[in-house]
Amino acid sequence: MNLTSPFSISIVVITILAFLGLPIGLAMISGSILYLYMAGLDMGTAAEQFLNGMYSNYVILAVPLFILAAEIMNSGSMTERLLRFCNVLVGRFRGGLAQVNIVQSIIFAGMSGSAIADAAGSGRMMQNMMTREGRYTPSYAAALTAVTAVVGPIIPPSIPLVIYALVSDASIGYLFLAGVVPGLLMSFMQMGQVAWTARRNNFPVEEAVPMRDIPLITWRALPALFMPILLLGCIYTGITTPTEAAALAAFYALVISIVFYRSLTFREGYNALLVSTKTSASIGMLIAGSLVFNYVVTVENIPDSLRVILTAWDLTPVQFLLLVNVILLLLGCVLEGTAILLIIVPVFIPTAQALGIDMVHFGVMVVVNIMLGLVTPPYGLLLFIMTNISGAPIKDIIRDCLPFLFWMVVCLGLITFIPDLVLWLPRMAGYAG
């Protein structure tokens, strides 16, 4: 590659701006406009790509709506009631509170679609519960909360899968279904690791919930538990599109918090709206930057050039998937997941299609891989969030994450090399892939 070409210079500018602290979305827009200027192209194309991409993709609306639903749940008492219900299910076992952490992530995953919302909301409560009276060390509680939050964007609904659908044109409905088995498999592996560690380290056994209290706890959690059933039922019966279902999820969370639980004050509702707006704006700017930069990548014919190179290597589909996994795992250590989805993954899609790799299987594999980056040093966004919440040194949290990371990589391997684990449920629903 010519290091003085407009494309090379734009990459250097984007990298420098990002390292200087400019948001990656703005860095991509700046570098792309510089490329258009140096290449003698109309710089107004940047605005055209931005406007056409943002306003013609109806699916993008699902992202802020899912974020809003998660923030409303965290502001109200839905999360607290779900935690009590999870304690009924697994709290009585050794290390039961740690198992509760995993189960609540499975349930919360069916509502928010965001790992950060899981960690910052229910994760904060779990951190306080697990470290109360010295039951668990702050670093172990933080590590467990971080790795369980990873499941959130794998089990539907999933914001990363929505973004992948945006760049790949794969069906969101089938992508959501494809994430169920991998997400549950990862959670069961985490539960197995907790059970083994609990016996080895003699974790505490929580006081069993009296039988007479179980019906009331279940009844109080029922409206919240009904949310993923309503959400996914509307999508798969065709009553709503995924974007409409996201709006329904936000509305349902609002009604439940105000009418049934009466736990959402005006101030809390305003704060939930403010936080979700800031988060959505940040993601929106990243999407906008990627749309402009992807135009530059297309002009430079990068995807086809990569496809020609990989074809010359004569890779089999399995070898290609292994190569993609290695690249994404390495990139996940230093880049934010949404940026990888929007910038790097589209480059691989033409080659994957040429090799006959199913786009739904490829999407779930990519998202699982990128989610591992949330708990992989040195970037590991969830590691930083849990360090802030717990006050534990990040090196201790990383140490306690490592056993879980091993099993999560094993899960990624199974998902990669056994496509039926991913595609079984979509095929049961009529997927022809």
CA distance 393 to 387: 7
Q: How many domains in the chain?
A: 1
CA distance 41 to 51: 18
Residue 278: burial class (beta carbons within 10 Å; 0-12, 13-18, 19+)? exposed
In a domain, 37, yes or no: no
In a domain, 27, yes or no: no
CA distance 172 to 284: 19
Q: Which of 45-59, 149-163, 381-395 has the highest mean pLDDT?
A: 149-163
In a domain, 146, yes or no: yes
In a domain, 14, yes or no: no
Residue 422 confidence class, pLDDT cut points 50, 70, 90 = very high
* Region 199-203 average pLDDT: 81
pLDDT at 57 over 70: no
pLDDT at 1 over 60: no
- Domain membership of residue 181 as a residue range: 42-428
Q: What is the pTM of this model?
A: 0.78
CA distance 293 to 52: 14
Peptide bond into 223 cis (omega under 30): no
Closest CA to 90 of 180, 194, 224: 194
Amino acid at 116: I
What would the pLDDT profile of 339-395 be if each residue is shown by its tens digit?
788 778 888 888 888 888 999 999 999 999 988 888 887 667 788 778 877 888 888
In a domain, 80, yes or no: yes
In a domain, 19, yes or no: no
Reduced to 3 states, what is the DSSP secondary structure of residue 94?
Answer: strand
CA distance 18 to 348: 23
Closest CA to 153 of 180, 192, 125, 193: 180
In a domain, 6, yes or no: no
Residue 36 confidence class, pLDDT cut points 50, 70, 90 = confident
Cα 324–chain centre separation: 18
Q: What angle do CA 239, 243, 245 make, to 5 degrees?
A: 45
Q: What is the mean pLDDT of the chain?
A: 81
In a domain, 118, yes or no: yes
Classify 2 in phi/psi space as left (phi over 0), alpha (psi -120 to 50) or beta: beta
pLDDT of residue 424: 92
What would the pLDDT profile of 238-268 be if each residue is shown by its tens digit?
788 777 888 888 888 888 888 887 877 888 8
Q: What angle do CA 125, 130, 136 make, to 5 degrees?
A: 150
Residue of 213 and 124 predicted with greater confidence? 213
Mean pLDDT lowest for which of 89-93, 150-154, 159-163, 422-426? 89-93
Amino acid at 299: V
